[in-house]
Amino acid sequence: MSQITTQGASNTPVEQKPLSHTTVSRRGFLGASAALAAATTVSAQTQQLRVAPFRFDVTPPMGHPLCGGWIKPVVAVDDPLEAIGYVLLGAGKPIVVCVVDWTGILNRAHFQWRAALAEAAGTTPDRVTVHCVHQHNAPFACLDAEQIVLDQGDLPHIVELDFFERCLSAGRLAVQQAMRNQIPVTHIAHGEAKVEKVAGNRRIIGPDGKVISQRGSSSKNPEHHKLPEGLIDPMLKTVALYHGERKVVASHYYACHPMSYYGDGRVSADFCGLARKERQAAEPDCTHLYFNGCGGNIGAGKYNDGSKEMRPVLVSRILAGIVGSEEGLRPQPITSVRWVTEDIRPPANPAFDAERLLKQISDKSQAVVARNRPSYTVAWLQRSLEQLPITLGGLHINDVSMIHLPSECFIEYQLRAQAAAPQRFVACAAYGDGGPWYIPTADAYPQGGYAVGVAWCDKAIDGILTGGIKKLLS
Segment 284-300, tens digit of pLDDT: 999 999 999 999 999 99
Interval 463-468 mean pLDDT: 98
How far is CA 220 from each of CA 114, 225, 430, rounded to the nearest angstrom? Answer: 40, 8, 28
Comparing CA positions, the residue from 328, 277, 332, 472 lying closest to residue 393 is 472
Residue of higher predicted confidence among 384 and 21: 384
Distance separating alpha carbons of residues 172 and 113, to the nearest angstrom: 10
Give the other-Cβ count within 10 Å of 30's Cβ: 15
- Sign of torsion over alpha carbons 256, 428, 456, 81: positive
Q: How confident is the model at residue 162 (pLDDT cuts 50, 70, 90)?
A: very high
Give domain limits for the chain.
5-473
Q: How confident is the model at residue 35 (pLDDT cuts 50, 70, 90)?
A: very low
Answer whether 341's CB lies under 8 Å from 40's CB: yes
Return mean pLDDT, the chain: 92
Q: How confident is the model at residue 24 (pLDDT cuts 50, 70, 90)?
A: very low
Q: Is 94 helix (H, G, I), strand (E, B) or coil?
A: coil
- Sign of torsion over alpha carbons 356, 361, 362, 365: positive
- The tens digit of pLDDT for each residue in 389-410 reads 999 999 999 999 999 999 999 9
Q: What local confidence, expressed as pLDDT, does residue 382 receive?
A: 97
First-last CA distance in the chain = 43
- pLDDT at 178 > cutoff 90: yes
- pLDDT at 33 > cutoff 60: no
- pLDDT at 40 > cutoff 80: no
Q: How confident is the model at residue 6 (pLDDT cuts 50, 70, 90)?
A: low
Q: How confident is the model at residue 442 (pLDDT cuts 50, 70, 90)?
A: very high
- pLDDT at 10 > cutoff 70: no
Distance separating alpha carbons of residues 39 and 127, to the nearest angstrom: 11
Q: How confident is the model at residue 8 (pLDDT cuts 50, 70, 90)?
A: low
Q: How confident is the model at residue 47 (pLDDT cuts 50, 70, 90)?
A: low
Distance separating alpha carbons of residues 93 and 43, to the nearest angstrom: 11
Q: Is 46 helix (H, G, I), strand (E, B) or coil?
A: coil
Q: What local confidence, expressed as pLDDT, does residue 14 receive?
A: 32
Beta carbons within 8 Å of 271's beta carbon, 6+ residues apart: 258, 259, 260, 300, 311, 314, 315, 318
Q: What local confidence, expressed as pLDDT, does residue 29 receive?
A: 45
| This prediction's pTM | 0.92
Q: Is 35 helix (H, G, I), strand (E, B) or coil?
A: coil
